Structure 1
Amino acid sequence: MADDTEEQDDDDLAAQWAAMAEDDDDGAGGGSTRVLDQNEIDSLLGLDDQAAEASDNSGIQAIVNSALVSYERLPMLEVVFDRLVRMMSTSLRNFTSDNVEVSLDNISSARFGDYLNSIPLPAMLAVFKAEEWDNYGLMVVDSALIYSIVDVLLGGRRGTAAMRIEGRPYTTIERNLVQRMMHVVLADLSAAFDPLSPVTFRFERLETNPRFAAIARHANAAIVTRLRIDMEDRGGRVELLLPYATLEPVRELLLQMFMGEKFGRDSIWESHLTAELWQTEVSLEGVLDTVETTLGDVLNWKVGTHVELNRSPQSKVELRCGDISMFRGVMGRKNGQIAVRIADKLLRDSREDM
């Protein structure tokens, strides 16, 4: 009987183990055959429609974009570039004698090295210097605008697409014509900054290889402004790059919400405080002399005790406001009252204020 019971227990235990093994196999098989659908893959990569509509990315896309620079919103800089667009429309119309429309595409931030690598070639790059800020900026003109400007300035017929010849460097005539347009844009850019802070953008050199236009470290942040220039059926893009280091001298001005805004100052409160200070009453004490003595001697003083001072009737009296010495003058009488005629104004030592 005991042997039969033990055999029955062994059979039950073996059955339980077999059932557990089957469950594990089913779970493993189910996990291995589980296939992600396209929506789940897009959500994992941060490429789904909801992530595209939202401002924040998710998934792997967020990890990839974590090295990007977030654009520090500078309200006054947007006003400056809006002013630049209006001025360029007029200047380029006079320059080309054609109907020119300039529009602002967007303002964004990027690493300087990433931007250089993203410039579509061939292109012309102008390095310019902000004289008053003692730093540099970059202007990029794409090939479509280069051939359009050359075509317009040399009398090309309207309605024909600008001819683009690949595989050759730009000629001297093309470089000179585009350089003249760059001078016009830089003059307008200087004028656009004038109401905020006078600055002169001076043309330095013209490059066609981005490696020779390095004006900052590759990891430095910069603001990229993209402008679209349309001349009826022709046109192209101009991109202005200003490193944050270049804008640092006027960063506080660019943070203003409107022109002339004052941070931390209220002119009405200042005038009110000044008026109240002029009417404030203060107490002055006239000190003829000070004597150092022991506390025991002071406790033994009685009415009629004489205290000797190292002063004469001609000695000057020191006027104090609290613990601060203000004036020194001569003591006398006026209208039956003791008075002090101020003779000297005591200047506080700047080291005492520190």
Structure 2
Amino acid sequence: MADAAETEAPEPEVPENAEGETAEGDELSEEWNSMVGEDGGDSPASAAPERILNQDEIDSLLGFSMSDDEGADKSGIRAIINSALVSYERLPMLEIVFDRLVRLMTTSLRNFTSDNVEVSLDNISSMRFGDYLNSIPLPAILSVFRAKQLDNYGLLTVDSNLIYSIVDVLLGGRRGTSAMRIEGRPYTTIERTLVQRMIEVVLQDAKAAFEPLTEVDFALERIETNPRFAAIARPANAAILVRLRVDMEDRGGRVELLLPYATLEPIRKMLLQQFMGEKFGRDNIWESHLATELWSTRMEVSAVLDEIRMPLGKVMNMKVGDTIYLDAGPESPVELRCGAVPLTKGRMGRLGYNVAVRLGSPLSTRTKKALMRSV
């Protein structure tokens, strides 16, 4: 009976306040595990766990990275801001010109340094002129050059690594050793002179690269080491920036060529072409054939002695035998015409049994153009 009483004994009742404390503790632990706020899972959205972004994901969202490569495509908020700041049309022919510049510079710098030089095109981008001046890594040499036919200026920047590499190569530095770089001092006269010679070689190659498109002479104006003294445009003006990489075995550096859009405006239509020599359907071969046929075309030329004005009624009443008096004598000049186009003037005479006209003046260029349009 005692055993039955023990087995059938009722379980102890849990107080109501104890059940509330247990439920509240479970709820707090659930909130802690799910990392939700004090509002505690009342809505379905708050029930999902929050995810904390790491630094790489934040940089990717903003468009920045610790190893920010200038040649890489920018994304995120930075790309949206940049596209709003500089949004200009693409110039296909400019890419062809700079590809040609890379090939020319590879050959000319090999001859200049008597070393194995490789030039590569990193990227072509658009940016504000003021942003570029602020992004130049110092120390550097900035050369201001003038495009004579375009009547404007450009900027060519040589970074410190390439400066010391060129000096080392030209002065007989040993291969296999990196160029010595001394910070905190200005460039010497020898260093500036050697780099100036290299800049002149690059400008000559740039002239040859633009030559199939148009004739442009790039003349070196001055060399600066402070970007504030190399201002060739307003800070807000847009420009084309071309980054070139020059490698000389284990040495090298960068050359940056900046051309404001105002400089390229006179040849903008040429730069919009898809290929070299595009003329919107014109063909030089057919132009040559057409010119040959035009030169052999027969045309009727009239010799006008004189002109008079008469009423239409008098002209309608003219009969056979009527006489028209002209205000022209034997020595009066005769005007030659092709249709309605006046050609030149001459004097009338006789050559054998034929009436002839001796030309008194050659055809003018304006008359030739008018005659070609009429034909």
**Range class of TM-score, shorter chain:** 0.5 to 0.7
Distance 1:324 1:200, change over 3 A: closer
The answer to whether residue 132 in structure 2 is matched with residue 115 in structure 1 is yes
Query: How far 1:334 sits from its partner (Å)?
Result: 6.9
Aligned position for 1:78: 99
Query: How far 1:201 sits from its partner (Å)?
Result: 3.5
1:142-172, Cα deviation, whole Å (9 max, x unpaired): 3333454566667777666656555x23253
Q: Distance in 2 between matches of 1:182 and 1:349?
A: 47
Query: How far 1:67 sits from its partner (Å)?
Result: 1.6
Give the residue type in structure 2 aligned to 1:79: R
Q: Which runs of 5+ in 2 are unaligned?
A: 1-42, 64-72, 371-375
Aligned position for 2:186: 170
> Are 1:221 and 1:243, in contact at CA under 8 Å, matched by a contact in 2?
yes
Aligned position for 2:162: 145
RMSD (Å) for aligned C-alpha atoms = 4.6
> Are 2:148 and 2:216, in contact at CA under 8 Å, matched by a contact in 1?
no
Q: Distance in 2 between matches of 1:247 and 1:285?
A: 50
Give the residue type in structure 1 aligned to 2:330: Q
Aligned position for 2:195: 181
Aligned position for 1:343: 358
Q: Secondary structure at the match of 1:194?
A: helix
Aligned position for 1:214: 231
Task: Choose which of 297, 309, 313 in structure 2 pairs with 1:292.
Answer: 309
Distance 1:267 1:102, change over 3 A: closer
TM-score (normalised: structure 1): 0.63
1:258-286, Cα deviation, whole Å (9 max, x unpaired): 77x47466443333323333443333445
Q: Which runs of 5+ in 1 are unaligned?
A: 1-28, 48-54
Aligned position for 2:31: none
Query: How far 1:182 sits from its partner (Å)?
Result: 3.5
> Are 1:330 and 1:340, in contact at CA under 8 Å, matched by a contact in 2?
yes
TM-score (normalised: structure 2): 0.61
**How many equivalent pairs are there?**
303
Distance 1:254 1:183, change over 3 A: farther
Task: Choose which of 85, 109, 115 in structure 2 pairs with 1:88.
Answer: 109
The answer to whether residue 283 in structure 2 is matched with residue 283 in structure 1 is no
1:307-344, Cα deviation, whole Å (9 max, x unpaired): 34045773656554333444554377975xxx532134
> Are 2:86 and 2:238, in contact at CA under 8 Å, matched by a contact in 1?
no
Aligned position for 1:270: 287
Distance 1:216 1:329, change over 3 A: same
Aligned position for 1:199: 217
Give the residue type in structure 1 aligned to 2:287: E
